[in-house]
Amino acid sequence: MRALLLTVVLSLAACAQQPPKDDSLYRALGEQIGITRIVEGMLLNIAADTRIVRHFEKIDIVRLRDKLVEQFCVETGGPCVYTGDSMEESHKGQNLTPSDFNALVENLQAAMTAQGVAIPAQNRLLARLAPMRAQVIDR
């Protein structure tokens, strides 16, 4: 019994010492509703972007929207769980170029600006997404 009590106390102490999750970027983007609006705006921008729209023609846009919202939520410290494929798997065979990636980023930036997201928050999101570039290009 004492061992069980000691285990419970130590577990609670370990939990209490963990730093709180930083969700400041999630909040700066407007939480779930704001992220959804940003993603939908980005997808609408892409639909009008002749440089990259062809890459989205055979994609289930509703599923893509949902997975992007999950991913952005997770990346920004929100309470979501990403349930989509890895970046490598989801971009396999698309042979995306750096120009394609840059066009998508421009569309994301335009969507964030349209939603009134401050530039520092935009830059924080882009910095968190930047490592994915290598997982997307030339797959």
Higher confidence at residue 86 or residue 129? 129
The pLDDT confidence band at residue 116, using thresholds 50, 70 and 90, is very high
- Domains of the chain, by residue range, sit at 22-136
Where residue 95 falls among pLDDT bands split at 50, 70, 90?
confident
pLDDT at 94: 86
pLDDT at 93: 84
Picking from 7-11, 47-51, 74-78, which range would have the lowest pLDDT averaged per residue?
7-11
Assign 86 a pLDDT band (cuts: 50, 70, 90).
confident
Q: How is residue 138 written in tokens?
A: 């030339």
pLDDT in the model for residue 139: 65
- Checking if the pLDDT of 64 tops 70, the result is yes
pLDDT tens by residue, 9-49 = 445 544 445 556 899 999 999 999 999 999 999 999 999 99
- Fold of the CATH domain 22-136: Globin-like (1.10.490)
Residue 5 is predicted with a pLDDT of: 44
Confidence of residue 88 (pLDDT cuts 50, 70, 90): confident
